[in-house]
Amino acid sequence: MMNIMYQRKGVSSNTQAGKDFEEFVNSFFASNNIFLEKQKRIEIGLNSKKEHAFDFGNDSILIECKTHTWTETGNPPSAKLKNWSEAMFLFYLTPSKYKKIFVVDMDYNQKKCKTLLEYFIEHYYYLIPSDVILIDLYTKCENYEVYKYDEKSKIHIKTQKEELWKFIK
């Protein structure tokens, strides 16, 4: 296999890695009786509206999925984190009737002792809307961590997993 610059190791393509993760996320919610449609389209905007397709959704839930990794040298992928920030802005623009969930494929950095989502929360907390639930989804062992906005500390913090299902219901 040819070494392609910016190609994640161990996957046939970054696009395929994203599609595989989206399928995993859809199965994760379906196994908990939450059924979603792919590419849920709704109108969003500030002064005028334009249709945007979220990765998944239904009449009450919108989900964006991201599967990015730390760089080979252990640094955060700054260009990819801009995509995460854009997702937060899109959530900010959505009508309040939707429950918003941001699901990330967990990637742990041993040098920094944190996941990429934890890094994002720590450094970009001011861009994350308070009504968004964040999920670090461990695809290898089918486990997950949930982060919910804490009014007292004004940041998303790790919470009980049950909070996700309470939030959705």
pLDDT digit string, tens, across residues 75-124: 999 999 999 999 999 999 999 999 999 999 999 999 999 999 999 999 99
Q: Is the dihedral of CA 76, 77, 79, 85 positive or negative?
A: negative
* Residue 146 contacts residue 107 (beta carbons within 8 Å): no
The contacts of residue 131 (CB under 8 Å, 6+ apart) are 91, 96, 99, 100, 149
pLDDT in tens, 50-84: 999 999 999 999 999 999 999 999 999 999 999 99
Of 72, 54, 71, residue with least CA distance to 63: 54
CATH dotted code for 20-168: 3.40.1350
Give the model's pLDDT for residue 169.
85
Of 105, 95, 120, residue with least CA distance to 40: 95
State how far the Cα of 137 lies from the Cα of 155, in Å rounded to an integer. Answer: 20
Percent of the chain residues topping a pLDDT of 70: 93
For the chain, give every domain's residue range. 20-168
Give the model's pLDDT for residue 154.
96
Give the model's pLDDT for residue 8.
58
Q: What is the pLDDT confidence band of residue 145, given thresholds at 50, 70 and 90?
A: very high
Residue 2 has pLDDT above 60, yes or no: no
| Helix locations, 11-124, DSSP H | 14-30, 78-93, 116-124
Residue 3 has pLDDT above 90, yes or no: no
Can you read off the two tokens belonging to residue 74?
């252990």
The contacts of residue 42 (CB under 8 Å, 6+ apart) are 51, 52, 54, 57, 62, 94, 95, 98
Name the residue with higher pLDDT: 58 or 10: 58
**Mean pLDDT, range 25-29, rounded to an integer:** 96
Q: What is the pTM of this model?
A: 0.92
Can you read off the two tokens belonging to residue 68?
């990015």
Amino acid at the residue 6: Y
Beta pairing, strands 61-66 & 99-105:
parallel
